[in-house]
Chains A and B, each alone.
Chain A
Amino acid sequence: MDSLISGIKHNWHFAFFSILALLLLFTALSAPWIAPYHPETAEMKNAFLPPSDGHWFGTDKLGRDCFSRVIYGARNSLSSVLILVCLVFSVGTSLGIISGYYGGKIDTVIMRLADIMISFPGIILAIAMAGIMGGSMLNAILALLSATWPKYARLSRSLVLKIKQKEFIEAAHINGGTQFHILIRHVLPNILPLLVITAASDIGGLMLELAGLSFLGFGIQPPAPEWGAMINEGRQQLQTAPWLMIYPGLAIFTTVVIFNLWGDSLRDVLDPHSVHQERISS
């Protein structure tokens, strides 16, 4: 936490992107106050209106206000991606730590399972799973979770294997530390920064994958607004009402860029060593 505060003070990149990320979260949370209309209120007589003063982003095929849908869509898109990242992070990391620390049969079982999952192309596996389970945001999250956790498991396992040999772990053993205590107090804090950085950098990518699943109809179901699903809806009117695709597309683009750059600058803050090394080597 100290390093984060110091990062905000000394690294303007990190400070800037943190503010933008917070602004996005704030927009999502305060959607009911920002959006001029309810996102699901259909005024069908006003279908396909181009952007105007009354409807900044125009209206969609059912006469719903696109600006309100983009703002409300932030809630669904952001909350689902954050839930997904937290889930992937905790499931993958826990399994990786257990696998690396205990070794033996547990290690073999977890790692072979990870190998199986990783041998499928991630998004294809997610599409197949979401297809079998049916379209809903929860299923899309579970599908991507099943395709993404091995990455975290393998990373945390390799970090644990490296740390396990260190003298301070042996010292903790000799001093009578329980395995749980050692894992929580000594192993976890040492591997956490790198995993947090990985998770932060993954937000953008996972958001694109979630939007992709929604675009294909496997994510959140109509009439709820979600950016990927909105692009799919607008696709039918690509030539006659392009605003239906442009604004949700811009929303995804902006959010992914902000979170990717925020993830990068977080790495600079949490792991200055690697940045230093990168600079020396280049």
Chain B
Amino acid sequence: MKKWMKTCISALLIGTASLALYGCGSDSQKSGAAPETLRIGVTNFADSLEPTDNYFAWVVMRYGLGECLVKFDQEMNPVPWLASSWSIGKDQLTWTFQINDRAVFSNGNKVTADAVKSSIERVFEKSDRARTFFDYTEMKADGQTLIIKTDKPVPGLPGMLADPLFIIIDTTVTDRDYQSMGPICTGPYMVKSFSKAKAEMEANPNYWDGTVPFKKVEIPSIDDPNTRAMALQSGEVDMAVNISPGDLKLFTDSSRYRISEIASLRTVLARINMSPGHPLQDPKVRAALISSTDRKTYCENLLQNTFITGKAPVPPSLNYGFDQLTDPNNYNPDRARQLLSEAGWIDTDGDGYVDKDGKPLEVNFVYYSSRAELPLFAEATQADAKKAGIKVNLKNVDYNILDSMAKKGDYDLCISNIITANTGDPAVYLNWYWKTNSSGSNPQNGSGFSSTAFDTLSDRLSQEFDPALRRQYMIDMQQIILNEGAGLFFGYPKTNMVSSTSITGAEILPADYYWLTKDIRPAKS
């Protein structure tokens, strides 16, 4: 009897204690809300603020620290930022950028053409990604005028310089730990402290482009989408980026929250490894796998219409022929089974999976889970592929590991959520993932995909200035990818930023590296 009593009392005590703790938690969060502090819940992949490492420059820009010469507007047109204007010479190789005369770094140093030159040179020294955008033969600085001469015509150069990789930093500062404090930049905020788990920012006293609305900004990394939503509900953060599709309906009360949602420039796709030795080397097996996936249901039912059904590499939000492209591998489970049997894969042992020469057809699918939709697409693919007889083994890894696995080709299927037009048009994206990678010439393409027709179009595109022709080349390149089954395009996300009504100006833009901007202000000021 005594034992029962003890159990009951312990249960009661635990219950009371957890209630008490819950009470403490919400109280302290609410009382800690100071109006001069902005708190943003984000997902963060970076453990360093060195802009030339990995994609960490994105975080430097997202956190309101760094700015480029050029930025993108709502329609992805390049517009002036640190550069006030630009032009191209008749030789189609010489670009002249006028640097804004008012621009200063957060340490008070003036942003001169010489400083910009030195910053761009540093990017080319330190990042092997820089040359995948463009290469220059000469760069000259004169006062506020910067001249960049490229080795071949680069029609999209201003858009390329809008990529966060080309954030302008003060290279004269050498005694600074870029990994933990970031470089000296020109953005509205400066780093006070940074770790992967939490960043604290303070206003840049020398900001050149208007007043900085908040004295302090706290950015906790809340990688779990559900926790991020709850942090916003409890008032722990004032705004959150990328609330998961299912949770958006929790924020429909417009007196408390504002949802900024936009059809993004992103594609969720699985890269398909077709290198020798991988099961998806066989085009029929690739086609069977793609045909077995019911992507319409994934986007409409599982993700509750927060995704547009996938078909082609470039999303329909960009005008690159989405409707005129044809996918030969539409959802058709019967065709999938037919293709597999044509390729010699038949279920001989009755285990539900097809096999050939005594080996079952197994495909390794690598994914990461900090974006809520990726595990869902991965598991849905596993379920649908099983119906066709393909065994999909799921492997959940950290994003940084996934990135290096993708480059090394250490996968059969590798899913990610990729921005397709970070330079204004999808040329760089198409080249990165599908242009032939011969001995490291294109490190992003770890899939083994190589097509002469694609490479020829890509070479023509790189020198073409006529927008209509450029568009047509990119449409043709996409059709080649679709015909070859060189990617499994799941869908195109609508991206969102949800903010409390205590702040204004939290707008998500198509290029999703503009998160914390000077336009986010307290509602009452």
Contacts and interface: CB of A to CB of B under 8 A. Distances in A.
B244 to A, nearest CB: 7
A192 interface: no
A217 B398 CA distance: 12
Contacts of A40: 383, 386
A223 B244 contact: no
A236 interface: yes
A253 to B, nearest CB: 11
A107 interface: no
A236 B301 contact: no
Interface stretch (B139-147, B372-380, B406-414): B372-380
Interface in A26-85: 40, 42, 44-45, 47-48, 61-63
Interface string B378-390: 0110111010000
B226 A238 contact: yes
A235 B247 CA distance: 12
Interface in B211-254: 224-226, 229-230, 244, 246-247, 249-250
Given A222-B382, A236-B225, A238-B226, A45 B246 contact: no
A15 interface: no
Contacts of B441: none
Nearest to B302: A47
Contacts of A235: 224, 226
A40 B382 CA distance: 10
Contacts of A6: none
A36 B143 CA distance: 77
Given A44-B294, A217-B396, A222-B379, A239 B229 contact: yes
A217 B225 CA distance: 17
Interface string A223-240: 100000000000111111
Contacts of A223: 379, 382-383
A229 B485 CA distance: 33
A264 interface: yes
Contacts of A282: 2
B440 to A, nearest CB: 29
A239 B394 CA distance: 26
A7 B277 CA distance: 62
B110 to A, nearest CB: 49
Contacts of B297: 44-45
A269 interface: no
Contacts of A61: 302, 376, 379
A47 B301 contact: yes
Contacts, number: 60
B489 interface: no
A240 B396 contact: no
A72 B191 CA distance: 51
A236 B226 contact: yes
A108 to B, nearest CB: 40
B246 A241 contact: yes
B3 interface: yes
A221 B395 CA distance: 8
B333 to A, nearest CB: 13
A40 B224 CA distance: 25
A11 to B, nearest CB: 13
B380 A240 contact: no
Interface string B112-140: 00000000000000000000000000000
A40 B394 CA distance: 15
Dominant SS at the A interface? loop
A249 interface: no
A131 B229 CA distance: 28
A114 to B, nearest CB: 30
Given A47-B301, A236-B225, A62 B379 contact: yes
Contacts of B396: 135, 217
A240 B249 contact: yes
A241 B226 CA distance: 12
Nearest to B297: A44
A240 B246 contact: yes
B298 interface: yes
A237 B384 CA distance: 22
B1 to A, nearest CB: 11
Contacts of A45: 297, 301
Contacts of A135: 396
B309 to A, nearest CB: 13
A62 B3 CA distance: 43
Contact of A239 (B247, B302, B393): B247
B104 to A, nearest CB: 45
Contact of A221 (B372, B384, B394): B394
Interface string B290-307: 000010011001100000
B379 A240 contact: no
B380 A62 contact: yes
A44 B302 contact: yes
Contacts of B225: 236
B379 A44 contact: no
A42 B383 contact: yes
A221 to B, nearest CB: 6
Given A62-B302, A222-B382, A240 B394 contact: no
Nearest to A239: B250
For A221, A222, A238, the residue with the greatest tally of chain B CB atoms inside 10 Å of its CB is: A222
A137 to B, nearest CB: 14
A221 B391 CA distance: 13
8 contacts: A42-B383, A44-B297, A44-B380, A45-B301, A47-B302, A222-B379, A236-B246, A239-B247
Given A44-B294, A221-B393, A236-B226, 10 more contacts: A42-B384, A44-B298, A45-B297, A62-B376, A217-B396, A222-B379, A237-B246, A239-B247, A240-B246, A264-B3
Closest 9 CB pairs of A and B: A42-B383, A44-B297, A240-B246, A47-B302, A236-B226, A47-B301, A222-B379, A238-B226, A45-B301
Interface of A: 40, 42, 44-45, 47-48, 61-63, 135, 217, 221-223, 235-241, 264, 282
